[in-house]
C-alpha cells in the first residue's frame, strides 16, 4: 500500500488533529489487503490506523509517500487501545468497564458480521474463559484459525470440558488440515455431548478428510460435479501424499522422488492448493488491477494478482503455514531478516510472496487472453521438475492437483512433468526455444538434444508421415516420435472405419512404437492423450481378427486414461463398445 502525504504515522479517517498536515492523496494498491475490510465497511469513520516503522518513499508527482511492505506494519487500532489519543476515541473507556461489557460488545459485533471489531473488543488473553470462547468464534469466522486455537487451549481438569470449546477447537484444527487431531477432539465431544447434531455432521466430514489423507481414495465424480457448480472451484478435500518425498537435485534445487516402486497409473499425489484464484471471462473486463515487474520486464493481471492477495492473507492470518510455503523457490529475492514475529504479529515478506506467486506463471505479452484463467500454489507439486520426457502426468479437478505415474518407476526416481505441453515438432525446435526462464533453470534431455542435433531441413522433411521417422537420429525407445503421436492413431481409426482391421492394427502398432512402446526398451513409453482412442481402436480391430487380445487392449486404454485424466472412474462413461466410431469415444463425450 502506498499513501502519498506530507507527514504521517498515526491518523484517523474523519478528522485530523491540528499538528498533522492533511492527506493529499490516498492510493490503494490491493496486492495483499483483505478485501472484506474495505468492501464491508469495516474501516468506518473514526477508525484509527498506525504505521509501524514507516518507510518514506518519493512519489512520481514529487510528494512524499509512505510505503508498507509487511501487512502487520499497518495496524487497525481498536477504539479502547492506549495508543489512540483521547480526543480521537468514539467513547472514553473507564476502569469500571469489566469483562461482561467487553463480552456484550464482542457479541454485538459478531451478530453484525463485523468479525474484526469483535476481535478488537475482546480483552487480553488473561480474561475469563467465556470471553476467550467468544474471541475464538470471531477468529474462526475471520479465518484466523491459529488465533482461535490459542484461545481454545483452555485446560480445566476438574470440570467437564466446554461444549463450545470442544466444537470450535475441532473446527479450527479441521481448517488447519490437522484432521487426525480434529477427529480426536470430536471423539471427546461425542462422548461428553452425544446430542450435538452439528458436531456429528462435522465429525463425519473430518473422518472423510482423514481417510482421503491416509489412503488417497477420493469421490472423483462428486468432486467433478462440485467443481462445475462453483464459480470458483475450491473443493473441501484433503491432500494425499503417496510414495514420494522431497529431496535435493543436482540441477534444479529440490525435487520429488519415489520412496518405493510404483506402477504406471499409481496415484503419487493429490494436493489441495494452498491458495487458488480463478478469473473467468467476465472478470477480465471488470478487473483493472495489474502488477508490473520492471526487473523481469513483465506484468501480471487478474488471477495472479488475486493469488498474491490470497497467499499473503492466509499466511498473515495463519502463520503456522509459513515454514513449508516460504521454503518454495522465490527467485533472487532474499529476506533481510529471518524474523517471523514482531509484537506477537507475523512478519509477511510481501516481496517474497510476489516472487513466489509469479515464478512458473506465464507472462502476458500484449492483451491477456479472454478465457478462464486459474492459478494456484501447490507446495508439494511445485517441487516436480520439468522433463520433455516426463514420467508423470498431472490433471486438475477444481483446486485439486492430481499426479499419477505415467510408467513403472523404481525407488529413488525423480518425478518429472511437462511444464509446457507440446504436440508438434515445431513447438520445440531447440533446447533454447523451450523457454524455461520463468522457472529460472535450463534443462535438456534426450528430446531437446535430438532437436538440437537435427537440422532444420530434416525437420521440414519430417512433416510428412513417411519421412518423420527418418528425421530422428535416435531410436523411439530413447526419443519418442511426438510428431507421429497424432498422425498414426488417425490413420488407424481411418482404416478401422473402412472395416480393414489388419491395416488398423498395423498403424495402431506404429503409433505405439513411435511413443516408445517396445517389449524391451531403454525407457518406458511416452504418455499421450491420443493413446486412449488408439488403444480402443486396437481393441476394436482385435475383436475381429484376434478376440482374445481385445480385453487386454481395452485394459491398457483404461490404464492410460487414468494416467492422463487423473482418474479412471469415468472411463466407462467416455469410452465403450457402443461407440459409433472405432476409437471407442462415446457420442455423449465428444
Sketch the domain layout of the chain as residue ranges: 4-88, 115-215, 225-417, 475-574
C-alpha closest to that of 209 among 195, 198, 223:
223
Distance CA 193, CA 559 (A): 47
Helix residue ranges per DSSP H, 13-125:
35-39, 99-111, 115-121
208-221 confidence digits (pLDDT tens)? 999 999 999 999 88
Q: Does 113 or 355 have the greater pLDDT score?
A: 113
Where b means 16+ CB within 10 Å and e means fewer, 231-252 reads eebbbebbbbbbbbeeeeeeeb
Give the torsion sign (CA, 330, 336, 338, 343): negative
Contact present, 480 and 460 (Cβ < 8 Å): no
Provide the pLDDT for residue 239. Answer: 96
Q: What is the pLDDT of residue 462?
A: 39
pLDDT tens profile 182-199? 999 999 999 999 999 999
**How far apart (Å, rounded) are the C-alpha atoms in residues 483 and 465?**
9
Contact criterion met (CB below 8 Å) for 282 and 236: no
The mean pLDDT of 478-493, rounded to a whole number, is: 73
Average pLDDT over residues 163-190: 95
> Which triple of cell numbers denotes residue 527?
504418455
Strand pairing class (416-417; 385-386)? parallel
Q: Does residue 330 surpass a pLDDT of 60?
A: no
Cell numbers given for 237:
478435500
**What class does CATH assign to 115-215?**
mainly alpha
Is pLDDT above 50 for 6? no
* Distance from C-alpha of 142 to C-alpha of 122, rounded to nearest angstrom: 14
CA 233-180-211 angle, to 5 degrees, is: 60
Residue 348 to residue 146: CA distance in whole angstroms: 15
| Homologous superfamily of the 225-417 domain (CATH) | SET domain (2.170.270.10)
CB-facing half-sphere around the CA of 125: CA atoms within 13 A: 10
Beta bridge partners of 75: 50
What separation in angstroms does the CA of 255 have from each of 323, 325, 330, 379, 384?
Answer: 18, 15, 15, 11, 5
3-state secondary structure of 482: helix
Cell readout for 390 is: 516426463
pLDDT recorded at residue 525:
52
CA separation for the pair 299, 365 (Å, rounded): 8
What is the pLDDT averaged over residues 456-471?
53
* 3-state class (DSSP) for residue 449: helix
CA distances from 308 to 1, 236, 241 (A): 14, 21, 25
Over the stretch 510-569, which tens digit does the pLDDT of each residue have?
777 777 665 343 344 555 566 777 778 878 787 777 788 788 888 888 888 888 777 778
Q: How confident is the model over 146-158, as a mean pLDDT?
A: 75
Which three cell numbers, joined as nine digits, stand for 295?
A: 526487473
Query: Which pLDDT value is given to residue 130?
Result: 79
**Residue 430 CA: distances (Å) to CA of 215, 424, 449, 455, 566:** 42, 13, 8, 10, 30
No. of helices (H) and no. of strands (E), the chain: 21, 20
6, HSE (Cβ side, Cα atoms, 13 Å): 7
Q: Give kind and range of the element (H or E) at residue 495.
A: helix 487-497
Mean residue pLDDT across the chain: 72
Q: What pLDDT is recorded for position 290?
A: 62
Kindly report, residue by residue over 229-285, the tens digit of the pLDDT.
Answer: 888 899 999 999 999 999 988 766 788 999 999 998 899 999 999 999 887 656 555
Give me 471's grid cell. 528425421
Amino acid at each position: 500500500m502506498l499513501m502519498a502525504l506530507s507527514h504521517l504515522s498515526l491518523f484517523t479517517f474523519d478528522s485530523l488533529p491540528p499538528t498533522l498536515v492533511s492527506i493529499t492523496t490516498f492510493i490503494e494498491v490491493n496486492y495483499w489487503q483483505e478485501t472484506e475490510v474495505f468492501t464491508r465497511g469495516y474501516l468506518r469513520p473514526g477508525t484509527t490506523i498506525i504505521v509501524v516503522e514507516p518507510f518514506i518513499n518519493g512519489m512520481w508527482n514529487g510528494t512524499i509517500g509512505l510505503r508498507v511492505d509487511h501487512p502487520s506494519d499497518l495496524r487497525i487500532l481498536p477504539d479502547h487501545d492506549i495508543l489512540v489519543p483521547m480526543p480521537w476515541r468514539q467513547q472514553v473507556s473507564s476502569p469500571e468497564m469489566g469483562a461482561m461489557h467487553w463480552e456484550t460488545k464482542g457479541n454485538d459485533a459478531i451478530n453484525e458480521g463485523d468479525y474484526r471489531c469483535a476481535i478488537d473488543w475482546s480483552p487480553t488473553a488473561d480474561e475469563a474463559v467465556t470471553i476467550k470462547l467468544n474471541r475464538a468464534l470471531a477468529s474462526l469466522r475471520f479465518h484466523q484459525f491459529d488465533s482461535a486455537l490459542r484461545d481454545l487451549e483452555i485446560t480445566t481438569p476438574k470440570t467437564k470440558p466446554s461444549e463450545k470449546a470442544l466444537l470450535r477447537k475441532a473446527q479450527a484444527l479441521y481448517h488447519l488440515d490437522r484432521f487426525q487431531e480434529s477427529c480426536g477432539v470430536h471423539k471427546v465431544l461425542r462422548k461428553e455431548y452425544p446430542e450435538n447434531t452439528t458436531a456429528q455432521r462435522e465429525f463425519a466430514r473430518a473422518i472423510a478428510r482423514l481417510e482421503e489423507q491416509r489412503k488417497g481414495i477420493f469421490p472423483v465424480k462428486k468432486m467433478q460435479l462440485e467443481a462445475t457448480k462453483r464459480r470458483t472451484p475450491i473443493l473441501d478435500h484433503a491432500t494425499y501424499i503417496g510414495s514420494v518425498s522431497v529431496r535435493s537435485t543436482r540441477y534444479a534445487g529440490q525435487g520429488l522422488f519415489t520412496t518405493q516402486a510404483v506402477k504406471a497409473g499409481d496415484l503419487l499425489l493429490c494436493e489441495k492448493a494452498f491458495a487458488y484464484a480463478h478469473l473467468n471471462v467476465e472478470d477480465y473486463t471488470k478487473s483493472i488491477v495489474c502488477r508490473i515487474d520492471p526487473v523481469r520486464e513483465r506484468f501480471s493481471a487478474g488471477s495472479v494478482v488475486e493469488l498474491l492477495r490470497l497467499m499473503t492473507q492466509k499466511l498473515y492470518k495463519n502463520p503456522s503455514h509459513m515454514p513449508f510455503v516460504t521454503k518454495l523457490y522465490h527467485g533472487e529475492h532474499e529476506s533481510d531478516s529471518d524474523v517471523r514475529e514482531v509484537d506477537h504479529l507475523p512478519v509477511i515478506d510481501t516481496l517474497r510472496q510476489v516472487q513466489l506467486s509469479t515464478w512458473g506463471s506465464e507472462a502476458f505479452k500484449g492483451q491477456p487472453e479472454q478465457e478462464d484463467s486459474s492459478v494456484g500454489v501447490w507446495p508439494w507439486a511445485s517441487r516436480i521438475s520439468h522433463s520433455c520426457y516426463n514420467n508423470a502426468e498431472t490433471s486438475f479437478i477444481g483446486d485439486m492437483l492430481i499426479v499419477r505415474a505415467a510408467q513403472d518407476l523404481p525407488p529413488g526416481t525423480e518425478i518429472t512433468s511437462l511444464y509446457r505441453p507440446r504436440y508438434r515438432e515445431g513447438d520445440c525446435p531447440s533446447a533454447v526455444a523451450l523457454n524455461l526462464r520463468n522457472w529460472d533453470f535450463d534443462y535438456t534431455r534426450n528430446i531437446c538434444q535430438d532437436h538440437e542435433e537435427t537440422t532444420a531441413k530434416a525437420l521440414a522433411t519430417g512433416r510428412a508421415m513417411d519421412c518423420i521417422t527418418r528425421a530422428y537420429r535416435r531410436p523411439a525407445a530413447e526419443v519418442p516420435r511426438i510428431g507421429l503421436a497424432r498422425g498414426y492413431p488417425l490413420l488407424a481409426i481411418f482404416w478401422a472405419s473402412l472395416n480393414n482391421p489388419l491395416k488398423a492394427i498395423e498403424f495402431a502398432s506404429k503409433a505405439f512404437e513411435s511413443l516408445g512402446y517396445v517389449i524391451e526398451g531403454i525407457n518406458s513409453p511416452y504418455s499421450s492423450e491420443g493413446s486412449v482412442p488408439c488403444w480402443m481402436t486396437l481393441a476394436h480391430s482385435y475383436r475381429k481378427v484376434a478376440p482374445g487380445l481385445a480385453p487386454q487392449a481395452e485394459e491398457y486404454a483404461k490404464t492410460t486414461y487414468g494416467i492422463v485424466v487423473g482418474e479412471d472412474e469415468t472411463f466407462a462413461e467416455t469410452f465403450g463398445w457402443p461407440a459409433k466410431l472405432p476409437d471407442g469415444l462415446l457420442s455423449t463425450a465428444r
